[in-house]
């Protein structure tokens, strides 16, 4: 708490006036452009590595950057994530949803270590809230990863895109640069796009291309950020060489 309180004092002395000015600029008519789902990991600071500012996007964080599939819910049971989708995309008419995973994700590392058949049993889910969360909402990612593992990481995976009829192909880490758990993290990131598309209240907007879903992946050891390119069928590092082609793809498919 010492560090936090001293940080607040530094903020008061250096950034508060500028931030209040930004609040004044957007308070009556904020126009956020994205709903950004990412992990709660303390190393992930999305507004910093995207250079976004006050009013630019909604940020939702949880263990493992998961968006529960709509099929998990009864009428009386829900979580923050679908509420954030409705608030962002329906109430505020945001047109882009971004899911951002990362390397050395502690939630994904735990998920990888819990691959046994008993993982999803009720008794094991009651051991801890984190295990229960992963068992309920990351099992589909684990199943997809095991499909990849069965092919010795060689064959592509197929994910549903915005609608059941639209699918995309994904080669996971074809250059074999990352740890096995990081491959799972990338699979999990793409699985969340499929989960987003499961919500009925987004259906019309997804079908009419008024809403678009994207995946990013952050390597915390190098600081490099990857964008999942449907054209290239893999995560592509965003850099000076790739930027022009990625912008062209985004403008073609998602504008």
Helices (DSSP H) in 16-98: which residue ranges? 16-26, 46-49, 80-85
pLDDT at residue 208 in the model = 93
Task: Summarize pLDDT for 213-237 with one digit per residue, the tens.
Answer: 999 999 999 999 999 999 999 999 9
User: Could you give all domains of the chain from N- to C-terminal order, each with its CATH number?
Assistant: 33-254 (3.40.1050.10)
Q: Per residue in 132-173, pLDDT tens?
A: 899 889 999 999 999 999 999 999 999 999 998 899 999 999
C-alpha 76/C-alpha 214 separation (Å) is: 29
Higher pLDDT, 77 or 42: 42
- 255: Cα within 13 Å, side-chain hemisphere: 7
pLDDT, tens digit, for every residue of 25-58?
A: 887 777 899 999 999 999 999 999 999 988 999 9
Averaged pLDDT of the chain: 92
Q: How far apart are CA 188 and CA 202, in angstroms?
A: 21
Residue 118 has pLDDT above 90, yes or no: no
């Amino acid at each position: 708490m010492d560090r936090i309180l001293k940080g607040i004092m530094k903020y008061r002395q250096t950034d508060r006036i500028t931030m209040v000015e930004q609040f004044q600029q957007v308070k009556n008519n904020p126009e956020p452009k994205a709903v950004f789902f990412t992990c709660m990991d303390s190393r992930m600071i999305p507004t910093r590595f995207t250079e976004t500012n006050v009013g630019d996007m909604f940020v939702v964080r949880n263990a493992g950057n998961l968006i529960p599939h709509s099929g998990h819910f009864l009428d009386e049971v829900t979580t923050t994530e679908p509420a954030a989708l409705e608030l962002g995309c329906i109430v505020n008419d945001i047109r882009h949803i971004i899911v951002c995973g990362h390397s050395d994700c502690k939630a994904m590392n735990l998920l990888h270590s819990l691959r046994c058949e008993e993982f999803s049993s009720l008794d094991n889910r009651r051991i801890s809230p984190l295990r229960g969360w992963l068992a309920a909402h990351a099992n589909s990612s684990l199943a997809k990863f095991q499909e990849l593992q069965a092919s010795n990481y060689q064959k592509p995976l197929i994910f549903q895109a915005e609608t059941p009829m639209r699918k995309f192909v994904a080669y996971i880490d074809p250059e074999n640069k990352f740890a096995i758990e990081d491959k799972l993290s990338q699979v999990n990131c793409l699985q969340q796009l499929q989960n987003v598309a499961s919500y009925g209240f987004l259906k019309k907007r997804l079908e009419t291309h008024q809403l678009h879903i994207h995946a990013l992946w952050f390597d915390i050891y190098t600081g490099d950020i990857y964008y999942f390119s449907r054209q290239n069928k893999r995560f592509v590092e965003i850099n000076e060489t790739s930027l022009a082609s990625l912008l062209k793809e985004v403008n073609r498919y998602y504008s």
